Amino acid sequence: MDTLVAQLQRQFRDYTISLYHQGFLDDQFTELKKLQDECSPDFVAEVVSLFFEDCEKLIGNMARALDQTGNVDFSLVGSSVHQLKGSSSSVGAKRVKGLCVTFKECCDSQNFEGCVRCLQQVDIEYKSLKAKLQDLFNLEQQIVQAGGRIPQVDI
């Protein structure tokens, strides 16, 4: 009979694998995990938290710029998109990064409708990732609280 710890560990493993397979995360997230150790046990959580704050700020900038009806500064939007693309790349937020690529193209071609669509998608996507990673971190916590160790998951 499975112990609670074993069950949680299995859930954690399966969930992690699914996040990669569904394209939410890429190997840069794995790289971040390498930087986590006993001295910095919350490194990944801290970095992604900063990333999500960044998302909120940058998306706000983009929304404001796109809101200037008739006078949209696409280079300004583009510059925020560029920054978001950079930070999403650095944390392994694969889908967000992919959306930024499309978004940048819309900015470059001054495609207003395209930009608005991309903005909506990016907003949904980062929030979705945020929720999923929160679930993942919660699982980690539960494992530790149940006295177990967080398994290393090889993707």
Partner 1 sequence: MARDGGVSCLRSSETMRVGIGGMESPPLDLDEVHVLAVDDSLVDRIVIERLLRITSCKVTAVDSGWRALEFLGLDNEKASAELDRLKVDLIITDYCMPGMTGYELLKKIKESSSFRQVPVVIMSSENVLTRIYRCLEEGAEDFLLKPVKLADVKRLRSYLTRDVKLSNANKRKLPEDSVPVNTSLPPPPSPFTISPVSSDSSPPLTISPESSDSSPPLSPLEISSSPLSSPIDDEDDDVLTSSPESSSAPEESPARRQKMRSPLD
Residue range at the interface with partner 1 (CB under 8 A); choices 30-38, 69-77, 112-120, 137-145: 30-38
Contact between 87 and partner 1 (CB under 8 A)? yes
Distance between CA atoms of residues 101 and 105, nearest Å: 6
Asked if residue 47 binds partner 1 (CB under 8 A), the reply is yes
Distance set, CA 36 to CA 18, 125, 144 (Å) = 21, 25, 16
Question: Which pair of structure tokens corresponds to residue 68?
Answer: 């200037």
> Counting contacts by CB under 8 A, is residue 46 touching partner 1?
yes
Judged by DSSP in three states, 26 sits in coil
Q: Tokens for 28? A: 């840069």
**90 near partner 1, rule: CB under 8 A:** yes
- CA–CA distance, 100 with 94 (Å, rounded to integer): 10
Alpha-carbon distances, residue 84 vs 74, 113, 134 (angstroms): 15, 20, 20
Q: How far is the CB of 132 from partner 1 (least distance, A)?
A: 18
Which of 3, 22, 40, 109 is in the footprint of partner 1 by CB under 8 A?
40
CB of 139 to partner 1, least distance (A): 23
DSSP-assigned letters across all residues of 2-34: --HHHHHHHHHHHHHHHHHHTTSB-HHHHHHHH
In the complex, least distance from residue 145 CB atom to partner 1, rounded to whole angstroms: 26
Q: How far is the CB of 9 from partner 1 (least distance, A)?
A: 25
Footprint of partner 1 on this chain (CB under 8 A)? 28, 31-32, 34-35, 37, 40, 43, 46-47, 50-51, 54, 79, 82-83, 85-87, 89-92
